[in-house]
Structure 1
Amino acid sequence: MLKVLAKGRTQSPVLKNSLKSTRLTRSVAMAPANVRSSSTALPAGYKEDSSKGPMLRFEDSLPKLPVPTLEETAARYLKSVHPILSKSEFESTTAAVNEFIQPGGIGPKLQEKLIARREDPQHKNWIYEWWNDAAYLTYRDPVVPYVSYFYSHRDDRRRRDPSKRAAAISTAALEFKKMVDQGTLEPEYMKKLPISMESYQWMFNACRVPARPKDYSEQYSPIENKHILVIRKNQFWKVVHEIDGKQLNTSELEQQFKRIYQKAEKVPAVGVLTSENRDVWTDAREVLLKAHPSNAKALKEVEAASFVVCLDDAAPVTLEERAHQYWHGDGQNRWFDKPLQFIVNDNGTAGFMGEHSMMDGTPTHRLNDYVNEVIFNNKLDFSDPSIRSSIPEPSIIKFHITKEVQGEIEKATKDFIEVIGQHELRVQAYQGYGKGLIKKFKCSPDAYVQMIIQLAYYKMYGINRPTYESAATRRFQQGRTETCRSVSDDSVAFCKAMGNAEVEDKDTVALFRKAVNSHVEYITAASDGKGVDRHLFGLKKLLGPNDELPSIYKDPAYAYSSTWRISSSQLSSEYFNGYGWSQVVDDGWGIAYMINENSLQFNVVSKGLGSERMSFYLNEAAGDIRDLLVPTLEAPKAKL
C-alpha cells in the first residue's frame, strides 16, 4: 500500500518511516561534544593541517566511516529484533539473515561493493551523499513540523524589550559567525578525539532550496552578503550588519530593530510558502519568480542572508506556548528553509528554529549555547552606546504579489493550519531530580532517561516497541548520525519487572542496571559506526536494478524494527527551557529530552495519541525509578 503525496508522488510507507526518523530529531541528538581550547596528544593518524585554519585543521586526518563486517551486523541486528518479535517471527528473521550472509550469496557480494566504495578516494564518507539525499533532500513532506526543530531560551531579565533582546542575540551570533567564516572556531572533541566540523559551512549564508526530484542546499558568499533577514508582520527587512569593515555594535543593531518595530506593516505572508509540501513549494516558487522580474532579486536576498531574526507578534508564557511558538509559530513570520532562525517575541521571550537537511543539531546547539553564555555572563561588549550616522536604514525586501501568488499563499496557510492542527504537544518539566542524582546512582544519564521513556511507554501500552535514539558519528569524516536501537531484551525484562509486584526490588534493580548497560553498549557501537541501520541501508543501495530483493529486506521484521514508534533524542543546556520536534510516524511519538543538573524535561509530540497521558507516565516513571534506586545509595557516614 502506497501513501499518495502531493502532485502524484508516492513513497513506500516502510521507506518513509525509516527515513523520516533520521531527519531531524535523531541528529539533533546528543549533547554537544566537549570543546577545548587546545589539543592534547592524539593517536597516530591524526594530523593538524594549519593551512586549513584552526576549525578544519583535523578534517582530512579523521578516519573514514567504517563498514562493519556482515557477521557483526547480523548478530547485532538479530539481538535488536529479538525482544520485539514472537518466537516464530524471530526464527523466520534468523533464517533470512543467515541466507543473506552465507558465503557466495548476495550479502558478501554487496559487502565487497560497499567496502570498495568506502576505499574510493572520491568518497570521504560512503553514506554521506546517499543519506543526505534519501533522508532529507528527497523528503517531500513539509519541513515544518516534520524536519525543523526548536530551542527555547531562558528568559533574559535585563532585556525584556524585544529590540534589546534581538540586538544582543544578533551581536553574539555575529561574533560566532566571524569565527566560522574565518575558520578560527576551535574544533569539538568526543572522547578526547577531534570530530568533523565540516557541516558548519552550512550554518550561515546558506539556504535549502525546493526542487524536483530533490531539494538542494545553496551557499552564498559571506563577503557579498553581509545582512540579516528580519521578519516582522510577515514583512521582510534587510539589515546590513557590517559597515566600512566594522560590525554593527549592539546599540546600532537595537536601533535597527526599533525602526522595524515602528515601520513594519502587515503584508501577505510569502514565508508561509516554505511550510508547504516540497513539490508544492517548488511549483509555488516558480509562480513567485514569474510574477515579477524583481522577485528573483528579493528571493536571493532572503536566501543569502547571514541568518534570520523573526520578530513575532506573540507573547508566549508557558513552556508549551513557547514550544509551539518556536517549533512552528503561525507559519507566516518565517522562512523555514533557512538553517538559522532566531525568534524574539513581543514580551522579550526568545528561542531558535533550525532546518535540518545539511546540519545536525550539535552545531546549532553549540551556537545557541554560545549566544546565551556570552549574553548571560556579559562576555562581549553589549554596552557601547555609539551609533554611527553612516548606517543605512533597514530596507524592505519587497515581493510583488499577483493573484496567482496570493492563491498559493492562501493554500499554504490552509495546509499549514491543517497539518499543525493534527499535532498534540505537551511539556513534562520534571523537577524531582536531574543529572546530579543519576550520577550518584552510577548510571549513564542518557541511558537512564531512555529507560524512563521505555517504562512510560510500557505503562501506557503494556508492550515495548521499536525506539530510535540518535548517535553522533562526527568523529568520522563528514559524519552525521547512526541509529541507536533502544529496546533490548534487558530493557523489556526491566519494564515487565516494574509492572510485577512479585519481583523483589533488588532483582528489579539488577535488571535495570543490565538494561542501562545494554543501552550504553549499543550507543557506543553506533557512535563507532557499527550500528545496523546505516549498514543495511548501504548494502540495499548497492542492489542492481535487476537484482532480486534479498529476503532479509522482504522480512516483515525489517520494516517493523525500523518503524520508530518512539523517536527520541537528547540535547541538554542550562540556558534552554525547552527543545523539541515532531514524531516520525503517525502512530508514534516524538520525545525530545533534556538532562540538566537538577531537572529533566521531555517535549512530547504525537498525532492525537494522548500526549497529556504520556507526559503523566513519564513523570510517574521518573519517580518510580528514583524510588527504586534511592535505597541502593550508601548511607552518609555519621560525623564523629
Structure 2
Amino acid sequence: MAEAHQAVAFQFTVTPEGIDLQLSHQALSEIYLSGVRSWKKRIIRLKNNVITGVYPASPSSWLFVVIAILATMYTRSDPSMGLIAKIQEHLPVSHSMSSQCQAVVSAVLFSTLLWLMLIFTMRLCLKQLLSYHRWMFEQHGKMSNTTKVWVALVRIFSGRKPLLYSYQGSLPNLPVPTIKDTVKRYLESVRPLMDDSKYERTTQLAEEFQGSLGNRLQWYLKLKSLWAANYVSDWWEEYIYLRGRSPIMVNSNYYGMDFLFVTPTPIQAARAGNSIHAFFLYRRKLNKEEIKPSRIPGTAIPLCAAQCERIFNTTRTPGEETDMVQHWQDSDYIAVYHRGRYFRLRVYQAGRLLSPREIEFQIQRILDDPSPPSKGEAHLGALTAGDRIPWAKARTKFFSTGLNKRSLDCIEKAAFFVTLDDDEQGMMGDDPAASLDKYAKSLLHGKCYDRWFDKSFSVVFYKNGKCGINAEHSWADAPVLAHVWEYALATDSFQLGYNTEGHCKGEVDSSLPKPQKLNWEIPPECEEQISKSLEVAQKLANDIDFHVFSFQEFGKGKVKKCRVSPDAFIQMTLQLAYFREQGNFCLTYEASMTRLFREGRTETVRSCSNESSAFVRAFEGGEAPEVCRRLFKAASEKHQLLYRMAMTGAGIDRHLFCLYVVSKYLGVESPFLKEVLSEPWRLSTSQTAVQQVELFDLVNYPEYISCGGGFGPVADDGYGVSYSLVGENIINFHISCKHSCPQTDAHKFGSQIKKALHDIVHLLSSAQPEPKKTETSRPKVKKDQ
C-alpha cells in the first residue's frame, strides 16, 4: 500500500468548516520534474531533427547564405538573376511594407530556397559518393587515384561532427542484382555440394527460372526498390523472424558474455547497480544522438543506424499468424525478475537518474524481499519461451484486461528486462572449460522461465557478480546490441568502478520508494498453458549441446603475419574441421552486414566454395605443401571477394528470398526457388567483432576481454558457430548443436577446430622466412619430461 499512498497527489475531506484539502508536495514535485524532463526530451529531439534534416550542412550555414546574398545586393549586383524581384512582386503582404523591407524579405526567401537547394545537392552528391564501392575490392595497401579522389570528396561532403542519424538521408538504397548474376553465383556456390547428375538437374531448373518466371518476379522487385528504402529488410523481419511460430528461445535469440578472466565485483547487487546505470547513460546519449555514427573500421564510410532506434523500450508481442515489434517512448523503469516474482524498479527520482549506489540499494531490496510469488507467477516467463501461437492465445484471453494487463504492460514497456539469478556462472571451479559451457547455456535459455525472451534484451546478473545478456533478434542484429554491451562493460569497470568493499561508489537516499512488486491473477487454465509451454521449452533447452572455449595459442596477430585475412583463415579452418568430422562439405552460412545501405541488415556469405573445397581435398589428400598453400591463398581470396560482394549488395540469398516472397504474393510456384529456400544451413557461422576498441586497454589490462557471444544451431543436424578475434592472441569460439542428432557433437567439433587451426597455421608459417637470429638470442632447449 505504500506505493499507492505515494502515488496520491492530493486528498480532500468534507468537514462542517468546509473542504479540507491536503496536497502532497513530493508528488506534485515529481509531476513537475517529470514534465520538465519530458519537455527537455522533446526540445532535444526537435533540435536533433533540425540538425539531421539539414545535414551535411548546418543550421548556422543558413545565416551565412542570407548575409552573403544581402551583401551582394548592397553592392548593386543581383545574384538571383531577377528571381528576388519576382518574389518581391508576389509577396502577399507587399502593400503593408516599405520597398526596402520588401527587398530584404524577398532576399531572405531567395536565400532560404538557395540554401535548401544547396543542401539537397550536397546530400545527393554524398549519396552518389557513398554508392561507390570499388575501393573495397582494391588490394590492401594499394589505393588507386580514383579512390584517393573519392576519399577526399567524401570527407568534404560529410560535414563536421555528425549526429548518430545524420547520414541516414544520404545512404544509398540497396541495389537489386540481375537475375542472370544471381543465378550464376548460386550455381557456382552449390557446385561443391552436388554430384554431376544433381548439379545438372539444378542447372536446368535455374535456366528455366531465369528464362521465364524470374524476369516477371524481378520486375516487381525493382518496382519495390524504387518505392521502399530497402527492398529486403521489411520482408526479412516479417517472414524470417516475426512469422516464425516455433519458440524464439534458442531458435532466434542469442546471448553475450561478461569478461572472461575477471569479475569486477563479487556482489550481485553492486554489479547490477553499475551496469544498469551504464545502460541508461547509453540511452541518454542515444536520445541526444551523441553516439558517433558507426563506420567501416579505418575509413570515413558510415553505416546505417536505423536499428539503433529500437534498442530500448521494445518488445516482440505474439500474434496467432505473425508477431509484432512494439516500441514505446522512454520509460523511467526496468522490469526485474527474482525467484519467481516480477518487480517494477524506477531508475529516475525527481527527474534525475539514480546513482549506481542507489540502484544497488534498490536491487538489494528486491534480493531481500521475502514475499512469495503469486499463484501461477513463478513460471510465467515460460510463455515467452514456448511456441508462439499458444502464447498469443493466452495473451489475448488472460492478459488483455485488468490486473494482468497492467502487470504485463509494465514488463513490455520497460526500458529492458533484468534477471537476478541465484546461480553462479563464469570460468570457475576445477573444470573451467565445462563451466563456460554451462554459462553459455544459462545465458541462452536459463531455466526457460526466468527470462522474458520477448524483450529487446534481458540482462542477467548472477549471484557471484558475473553477468550476461540475452537478446531477441527481430528488431536488430547482433552488432547493434554488442555496441551497447561493450559500452556497459567498459563504463562499469573503467569509469564507475567500485569501492574497496566491492560496492558501488556514492551515497544512498534511504527515502527512495521500494520497488513495486507486480501482481497477477492467473486462472488454472492459464497455469496449464504455462506448464505446456515450459515443457516444450525445457525439451528444446535440454537438447542443446554447447561448447565454448578460448583458443590462446595464437590469434589474428600471427595470422596477419601469414598475409591472410583473419576471417578467411577462420572460415577455411571451419571447412577443414567440418570435412574431417563429417567426411563431406555442407552449405555454410556466414553473416555479413549490408549497413552500407539504408535500413540494411545482413546478407549471406556462402563460405563453402569450389576453391575452399579444393584446398581441403588437397590438404587431406596429402598434396605437397606448396600446392596446398597456393590453393589456400585462392580459397581465402575467393572468400574475401564473396564477403565484399555480399556487403556491397551483390549477394545471392536475400535476392532469391525476395523473389520467393513475390512468387507467393502472385500465387505462382517456382520449383527452383522452392528448392533453393529449402536447403539446410548445416554450418551457420558469425563473427563477433569488437567495435569500440578505444574503450578497452588490452595492453595494460589484457584480462578485461569479453568471451563474445553465441546462438543456437540453425539446422537440427548442423552446427552454430560464433567466433571473436580478441586482441592479437585470442580467438573465442561458441559451438552449438543438438544432442538428438547422432552425427553432431559440439566438443568433438571443437577439437577438430583446434587441430585445424594448428594444421593450417603450420602450413602457412612453414613458407615464411625465419627471423634472423641475433648474437644475443639463444635457441630454446626442451627440458626432459
Sort the TM-score into its range (normalised by shorter chain): 0.7 to 0.9
8 A Cα contact 1:323 1:578, kept in partner: no
Alignment of 1:80-479 (within 5 A): 80-102=189-211, 105-120=212-227, 123-154=228-259, 156-190=262-296, 191-222=299-330, 225-263=331-369, 265-267=371-373, 268-289=378-399, 293-316=402-425, 317=428, 318-378=435-495, 384-479=505-600
Q: Deviations over 1:328-367 (max 9, x none)?
A: 1101211110012111111111111110011110111111
State the alpha-carbon separation in 2 of the partners of residues 298 and 45 from structure 1: 52
8 A Cα contact 1:160 1:347, kept in partner: yes
Could you tell me how far 1:132 is from its partner in structure 2?
0.8
Distance 1:300 1:624, change over 3 A: same
Gaps spanning 5+ residues in structure 2: where?
Answer: 1-150, 429-434, 691-703, 776-785
Q: Which amino acid aligns with 1:626?
A: V
8 A Cα contact 1:166 1:257, kept in partner: yes
Tell me the secondary structure at the aligned position of residue 468 of structure 2: strand
Moved more, 373-382 or 402-411: 373-382
8 A Cα contact 1:47 1:61, kept in partner: no
8 A Cα contact 1:428 1:619, kept in partner: no
Q: Deviations over 1:362-391 (max 9, x none)?
A: 111111111112223226899652223452
Aligned to 1:605: 736
TM-score (norm 2): 0.72
Q: Which amino acid aligns with 1:296?
A: K
State the alpha-carbon separation in 1 of the partners of residues 511 and 284 from structure 2: 22
8 A Cα contact 2:274 2:496, kept in partner: no
State the alpha-carbon separation in 1 of the partners of residues 681 and 334 from structure 2: 38
8 A Cα contact 2:387 2:536, kept in partner: no
Tell me the secondary structure at the aligned position of residue 295 of structure 2: strand
8 A Cα contact 1:65 1:479, kept in partner: yes
8 A Cα contact 2:334 2:416, kept in partner: yes
Could you tell me how far 1:546 is from its partner in structure 2?
6.2
Task: Tell which has more relative contact order, 1 or 2 (C-alpha 8 A, sep 6+).
Answer: 1
Tell me the secondary structure at the aligned position of residue 543 of structure 1: helix
Q: Deviations over 1:515-566 (max 9, x none)?
A: 1111111111011111111111222222266664234225x4x256x41010
Tell me the secondary structure at the aligned position of residue 663 of structure 2: coil
8 A Cα contact 1:59 1:197, kept in partner: yes
8 A Cα contact 1:172 1:380, kept in partner: no
State the alpha-carbon separation in 1 of the partners of residues 300 and 283 from structure 2: 25
- C-alpha RMSD of the superposition: 2.1
Could you tell me how far 1:109 is from its partner in structure 2?
2.5
Q: Which of 766, 769, 778 lines up with 1:634 in the alignment?
A: 769
8 A Cα contact 1:369 1:575, kept in partner: no
Q: Deviations over 1:218-249 (max 9, x none)?
A: 11120xx2001111112111111111221001
Q: Which amino acid aligns with 2:527?
A: Q
Could you tell me how far 1:96 is from its partner in structure 2?
2.4
Q: Which amino acid aligns with 2:314?
A: A
8 A Cα contact 2:577 2:752, kept in partner: yes
State the alpha-carbon separation in 2 of the partners of residues 70 and 286 from structure 1: 44
State the alpha-carbon separation in 1 of the partners of residues 436 and 156 from structure 2: 47
Could you tell me how far 1:93 is from its partner in structure 2?
2.1
Aligned to 1:505: 625
Distance 1:198 1:564, change over 3 A: same
Gaps spanning 5+ residues in structure 1: where?
Answer: 1-39
Q: Which amino acid aligns with 1:464?
A: F
Mark the structure with the bigger radius of gyration.
2
Aligned to 1:524: 644
State the alpha-carbon separation in 2 of the partners of residues 368 and 264 from structure 1: 32
Asked if 1:589 corresponds to 2:719, the answer is: yes
Q: Which of 177, 184, 194 lines up with 1:68 in the alignment?
A: 177
Aligned to 2:154: 43
Tell me the secondary structure at the aligned position of residue 250 of structure 2: helix
State the alpha-carbon separation in 1 of the partners of residues 203 and 349 from structure 2: 66
8 A Cα contact 2:663 2:670, kept in partner: no
Could you tell me how far 1:115 is from its partner in structure 2?
1.2
Q: Which amino acid aligns with 2:415?
A: S
Alignment of 1:22-61 (within 5 A): 43=154, 54-61=163-170
Aligned to 2:15: none
Tell me how many residue pairs correspond in the alignment. Answer: 588
Could you tell me how far 1:460 is from its partner in structure 2?
0.4
Could you tell me how far 1:469 is from its partner in structure 2?
0.5
Aligned to 2:79: none
8 A Cα contact 1:202 1:219, kept in partner: yes
State the alpha-carbon separation in 2 of the partners of residues 379 and 42 from structure 1: 41
TM-score (norm 1): 0.88
